Amino acid sequence: QVHLVESGGGLVQAGGSLRLSCAASGRTFSTYGVGWFRRGPGKEREFVAAISWNGISTAYADSVKGRFTTSREIAKNTVYLQMNSLKPEDTAVYYCAAALLYSDYDPRKYNYWGQGTQVTVSS
C-alpha cells in the first residue's frame, strides 16, 4: 500500500515558479515510478511528467518540456515537480501517482493517487 500527499500548490504570476512535493508512505515506495498529471478547468486529465523508481529516467509532456523538472529524494520518500516559467495555461489541479516499476504517460497503469494540489497562474 502506498499513500501519497501532494503539497506546494498556490497562486503565482505568469513567469513565476513553484515546486510541488509528493510525499509517500509505504515501505516499498522505492520500487514505484511516479507520474505527475493535471486537470485544468474544463479539460481532461493530462500527463505532465514521470520519474522512474530509481530516479534515473524521466519523461515530460511536450507542453512542459524545458520548463518543468521532476526529481526524487529516495531517502525522504518524496518526489518533486519544479515548475518554472509558468503560464496561465498551466493552471490546474496537479496530482502525483505511483505505479510499481512503471513511469510513463498512461494513467491507467498507476495504482495510487494523491488528493491533488491546486496551481493557479495569473496573467
pLDDT-derived band at 28 (thresholds 50, 70, 90) equals confident
C-alpha cell, 55: 530516479
Q: Which has the closest alpha carbon to 6: 16, 19, 71, 85? A: 19
Query: Is residue 63 exposed (0-12), middle (13-18) or buried (19+ Cβ within 10 Å)?
Result: middle
Measured between alpha carbons, how far is residue 123 from residues 16, 66, 105 in Å?
Answer: 11, 20, 28
**C-alpha count within 13 angstroms, C-beta hemisphere, residue 94:** 30
| Tens-place pLDDT, residues 31-78 | 999 999 999 999 999 999 999 999 999 999 999 999 999 999 989 999
β-pairing, 117-122 vs 32-39, is unpaired
